Amino acid sequence: MELGLLGEVTAHLGGRSVDLGPARQRCVLAALAVDAGRVVPVDLLLWRVWGADTPRRAPATLHSHISRVRRALNDAGDDDTAIVLRSGGYALVLDRPDQVVDLHRFHDLCARARATDDDVHAVALLAEASALWRGDPLTGLSGEWVEVERDRLRQERLTAAHDLVDARLRVGEGEELVAELCASAAEHPLDERVAGQYLLALHRAGRSADALQHYQRLRERLVEELGTDPGEPVRELHRRILAADPALLAPPPGAVTDSAPPPTRATPAPRQLPAAPAPFVGRRTELDRLGLAVGDAPGTVVISAIAGAGGIGKTWLALHWAHRHVDRFPDGQLFVDLRGFGPEGDPMPPAVAVRGFLDALGVEPRRLPVDPHANFALFRSLVADRRMLLVLDNAADTAQVTPLLPGGGSCTVVVTSRNRLPGLITGHGARHVPLDVLPEAEARALLTDRLGPARIDAEPAAVDALIELCGGYPLALSIIAGRAHVDPHLPLAVLAGELRDLGLDALHDDDPAASLPTVLSWSRRALTPDQARAFALLGAAPGPDIGLPAAASLVGLPPHETRAVLRGLEQASLLTQDGAGRYRAHDLIRRHAATSAHEELDEGTRAAALRRLLDFYTHTAHAADRVIHPHRPAIRLDPPAPGVHTHDLSDSREVLAWFEGEHANLLAAQHTAAGRGLHRTAWRLAWAMADFLDRRGHLHDQLTVWRVALAAAEHLPEHGELVLAHRLLGRAHAYLKDHEEAIGHLRRALALAERHHDVPNQTHTNQVLARAWERRGEHRQALAHATRALELYRALGEPVGEANALSGVAWFASRLGDFDAAREHCRAALALYDRHYDPEGEANNLDTLAWVDHRTGRHADAVRRHERAIALFRDHGYAYRAADALDHLGHPHVALGDHDRARAAWREALELYRQQGRDDDADRVRRQLDELDRARPVERR
């Protein structure tokens, strides 16, 4: 069998074409073939074939497509290619993918070419790889994934073509390549690698003048379109051509030359450094000290700790040095603001910082461990032996930094902090780089660089006064320079007079918070009224950052007007925007903004703005929750305040991404609402976050959120809010194995619901009580509450709730050994699920029925049902429940003698348990794996 992806998607057996059916069916085969030999999860496979708008019946259709592809291959006489269902997805199983699939053959040939030291052999391998291409990849297919994959493969083809040219240049070719490279240079006029190849080929062809002329055209084009000069490799080649370097001529056979431009990286490294500061002056001693640190003995992490007061220029120094030496770190640069001295008073936990690093290093969110220690270990593994730079900015103390330090000796770490971090210096050998105010000459140079020498020379006395009043503080000097630059007709003497009147001489104090706000209060006078009002309100907003929709609600302007206002604040250096489009202010600037809000905005204005922001978070989170959990009983919301711009979210992926991005802000918003006595808002925010926190396994956040919600509910007149708060707080305690607290809250919830004859809340509370008793090992108590919940659901006439309750009764009956009753209840639940879509409930029920099948000897049926349940859990983001189903799956595999699949299922369950911090479950599965390994010698006999 030969499968073709590098052109039209085809299959041939013995030279005969195989009919693969319509385009979507061929897309299924292509989506499996690109990962031949590896499991493609069902949700990923569905996205590849249908895109983000996957129809409801897509899983069933996918199964049909796979069956037809199997039949087409079998009918053609192929016995070696198989599409198999494995844990969580499908895999195209081939003995030698590189012999069957042209894409994998292409990858194999390219990898062998790049690994060999024989350039002649590399040319042959790369030429063979290029010959595999029959046209545009995946021809005949369409869709979101196809377009992304097609672009990726085009880039791989282009890289291989460049590598082939490099190899041909290394073996001595030149004139033979001129025509080919002329066309390539015209197609890619700004590609410096192609330009270097073309220059060298022209030079070897005796056309050095043409080579120099082409370099000049390249340089002019780069300057005009990108504002930059050619890179060092092309400039060096240009110098060598000018000097008629004999080493550039074609080498003798077998010789090695470094004249060709170096190959590019196949995968981009993370480049997280913010822009280099401008202007930047002085700091030569500190820059030299940082440079010396990198030259220390290898084998240990090189750490520099830049310490000084807030606003002294620590981050500017770190970034300026990092950009000057970026070539020393080819494997990437990571940057994080640890918020050690932010206005909210809560430094960023190291676990949050390392998650950002793992995302930058390409770790998929669904693969991220939940346990912080596992995240730190994964991070150290990923950066081991890489030449990388880590800039840890604004650290609170040594304890915040230590978990983020790499373990190997190839990385360099630069830490900035207002503290001197003695523990980092003593315990980890960090080089101390103290930072003080700028000397008078460097302060003058900073103003001159920004305003120009003519303006500085025109008012020497005013410049002397500005430098004296700013006390050498870089932040103060930059703000003043920016104000003068914006208004070129404003005399510097006026600025000096205002600064003298505002008392900026206090900048000489060791505590910058006592003086820098004065400079900032003056700086904001240049803002427009809308900008000044937005600046003040942003300082009072809860959370570490803010997105554009939330900011629009806060300031009460339409989003497009808000964007313009925020852009003005960015230009005034009062606000920064990250790569995700979120806005954040420096801690000192934000503190000043919060002070401005209290001084310049009346209480009614501030309260209305905060009300709009809280309404934004409440309504958006509520609508988002309805997308991912449509069967959950809804709550009633008041209409949002005028000026609120809710953020519309259409599908579950978008919803979960929004919750991830706003997680910290939602927690802060609830805390703020509770603190201001907005009890109903505090309770509603808890309700809206509940499902997201449950799906992601944020157990401690659940506990915190529902404690706040319970305190709020006690101030509300309705009993239902108090019942639900007790219930979900009890549930959170149950998850964390605080059994007494859990049962206590749940009993109070049930008693309150019974007192008010609230049947729905009695029903839900009985269900949660059943699970809580189960966690204590009290299965009869659990069954009693599950049975009561079923009776109540039937009385209410809620079919989905009844199905879930049937499934719960079945589970607890099975735990007590009553398998006939369990099976009967499961089948009744399945009948309801067939009529009412509830993927979570259906998956739970399938898992229970599979458990009953296993316990009654129907092991093959158990495997099939467990695998379907796992697929449903994964498709809808229920990683917590998928872990249990994987644990259950291993047992029927063992009973069937398929120990390898049992081992695979348990290893996956073990990893999920570790990520979710479920230590007891992880220990149990580890024991199961140990028992399986001990049984292996018996298997061999």
- Condensed to tens digits (0 to 9), the pLDDT of residues 473-526 reads 677 787 777 778 878 888 889 888 877 775 433 333 343 333 355 445 544 665
Q: How many CB atoms lie within 10 A of CB 226?
A: 9
Q: Which of 740, 792, 741, 742 is nearest to 766 (CA)?
A: 792
User: Hunting for tokens 């206590």 — which residue is that?
Assistant: 744
**pLDDT band (50, 70, 90) for residue 268:** low
Distance in angstroms (rounded) separating the CA atoms of residues 654 and 627: 10
850 has a pLDDT exceeding 60: yes
pLDDT, average across residues 646-675: 89
- Name residues whose C-beta falls within 8 Å of residue 433's C-beta, 6 or more positions apart in sequence: 286, 289, 290, 304, 305, 306, 307, 317
Lowest-confidence region among 251-260, 555-564, 714-723? 251-260
Q: Which residues pair with 37 in a beta bridge?
A: none
Give the range among 151-160, 333-342, 567-576, 652-661 with minimum mean pLDDT.
567-576
Does position 264 have pLDDT exceeding 60, yes or no?
Answer: no
Alpha-helical (H) ranges within 300-413 are 314-324, 350-360, 372-383, 398-401
| Per-residue model confidence as pLDDT tens digits over 16-29 | 888 888 999 999 99
- pLDDT for 180 beyond 60: yes
> How far from chain centre, in Å, is Cα 800?
35
- CA distances to 353, 363, 469, 545 from 310, rounded to whole Å, are 21, 34, 17, 20
| 644 band by pLDDT with thresholds 50, 70 and 90 | very high
What sign results for the dihedral spanned by CA atoms 201, 204, 206, 211?
positive
d(CA 389, CA 319): 11
Verify cis geometry, omega within 30 degrees of 0, for the bond prior to 279: yes
Assess contact for 463 and 341: CB atoms under 8 A. Answer: no
What whole-number distance in Å separates Cα of residue 488 and Cα of residue 502?
A: 22
Burial bucket for residue 245 (CB in 10 Å: 0-12, 13-18, 19+)? middle
Closest by Cα among 356, 357, 338, 358 to 348? 338
On whether the CB atoms of residues 100 and 1 are closer than 8 A, the answer is yes
Task: Say if strands 431-434 and 16-17 run parallel, antiparallel, or are unpaired.
Answer: unpaired
CA-based max dimension of the chain: 98
Q: In terms of pLDDT, which residue wins out, 362 or 936?
A: 362
Whether residue 544 contacts residue 344, with contact meaning beta carbons closer than 8 Å, is answered with yes
For residue 367, the model assigns a pLDDT of 64
The amino acid occupying position 619 is H
Task: Inform me whether the pLDDT recorded for 299 exceeds 60.
Answer: no
DSSP alpha helix (H) spans, 452-558: 453-458, 460-470, 474-486, 492-502, 516-523, 529-540, 548-555
Q: Residue 838, SS3?
A: coil
Sole residue written with tokens 């056979």: 253
How far apart are the C-alpha atoms of 337 and 347, rounded to whole Å?
10
| Beta carbons of 287 and 279 less than 8 angstroms apart | no
* Strand partners of residue 415: 305, 392
Across the range 203-214, mean pLDDT stands at: 89
Give 524-528's long-range contacts (Cβ < 8 A, gap of 24+). Answer: 524/572, 524/574, 524/596, 526/483, 526/486, 526/487, 526/572, 527/568, 527/569, 527/572, 528/565, 528/568
Judge contact between 279 and 352, C-beta under 8 A.
no
- The C-alpha R_g of the chain, in whole angstroms, comes to 33
pLDDT recorded at residue 258: 42
CA angle at 620 for the pair 619 and 625, rounded to the nearest 5°: 100
The whole-angstrom separation of Cα 793 and Cα 805 is 8
pLDDT digits (tens, 9 = 90+) for 796-842: 888 888 998 999 999 999 989 999 999 999 999 988 988 887 888 88
Percent of the chain at pLDDT > 70 equals 90
Q: Give CA angle at 473 (468, 474), nearest 5°.
A: 120
Give the pLDDT band of residue 366 (cuts 50, 70, 90). Answer: low
Question: How many CB atoms within 10 Å of residue 322?
Answer: 22
Identify which of 274, 280, 306 has the alpha carbon closest to the alpha carbon of residue 293: 306
C-alpha 267: how far from its chain's center?
17
Interior/surface letters 758-767, b for 16+ CB within 10 angstroms, e for the rest: bebbbbbbbb
Mean predicted confidence (pLDDT) in 644-665 = 87
CA distances from 703 to 196, 281, 676 (A): 61, 50, 21
C-alpha to C-alpha distance for 858 and 3, rounded to whole angstroms:
38
Among residues 894, 897, 871, the alpha carbon closest in space to that of 40 is found at 871
Determine the Cα–Cα distance for residues 20 and 25; give it in Å rounded to an integer: 7
Token pair for residue 867? 């695998």
87 and 904 in contact (C-beta within 8 Å)? yes
Written as six digits, the tokens of 756 are 């008010």
Average pLDDT (421-436) is 85
Separation of CA 515 from chain center: 38
Query: Are 423 and 405 spatial neighbours (Cβ–Cβ below 8 Å)?
Result: no
For the segment 38-60, the average pLDDT, to the nearest whole number, is 85
In the predicted structure, residue 295 carries a pLDDT above the cut 70? no
Q: Identify which of 368, 341, 364, 367 has the alpha carbon closest to the alpha carbon of residue 352.
A: 368
What is the structure's pLDDT at 494? 85
Highest mean pLDDT among 106-110, 245-249, 359-363: 106-110
Q: With residue 721 as reference, give the H or E element that holds it.
A: helix 719-735
- Helix 516-523 and helix 492-502, axial crossing angle in degrees, nearest 10: 130
For residue 325, what pLDDT is reported?
A: 86
pLDDT at 915: 82
Residue 297, pLDDT score: 43
Output the pLDDT for position 605.
92
Q: Comparing 359-373, 697-711, 750-764, which segment has the lowest mean pLDDT? A: 359-373
Helix (H) or strand (E) holding 734: helix 719-735
Calculate mean pLDDT across residues 404-429.
85
Cβ 733 vs Cβ 695: under 8 Å: no
Whole-model pTM?
0.50
Provide the CA 449 distance to its chain's centre, in angstroms.
Answer: 38
How high is the pLDDT of residue 586? Answer: 62
- pLDDT tens digits along 532-556: 999 999 988 998 899 999 999 999 9
Q: What is the pLDDT of residue 426?
A: 85
Q: Please give the average per-residue pLDDT across 369-390, as a whole number.
A: 82
pLDDT over threshold 60, residue 239: yes
Residue, of 651 and 640, whose pLDDT is higher: 640
At residue 514, the pLDDT reads 33
Instruction: Give how far Cα 428 sits from Cα of 135, 398, 551, 640, 925, Å.
Output: 56, 10, 42, 53, 37
Using DSSP's 3-state secondary structure scheme, residue 570 falls into helix
Percent of the chain surpassing pLDDT 90: 37
Residue 758 pLDDT > 60, yes or no?
yes
Supply the pLDDT for residue 837.
79
What residue has token string 């902090």?
Answer: 417
* Structure-token pair, residue 115: 């690994």
Give the C-alpha distances (Å, rounded to integers) separating 28 from 22, 459, 772. 10, 73, 43
Eight-class DSSP state of 416: E
Average pLDDT, the chain: 84
Question: Is the pLDDT score of 361 beyond 90?
Answer: no
Q: How much is the pLDDT for 417?
A: 86
With beta carbons less than 8 A apart as the criterion, state whether 723 and 753 touch.
Answer: yes
pLDDT digits (tens, 9 = 90+) for 771-794: 999 888 899 999 999 999 999 999
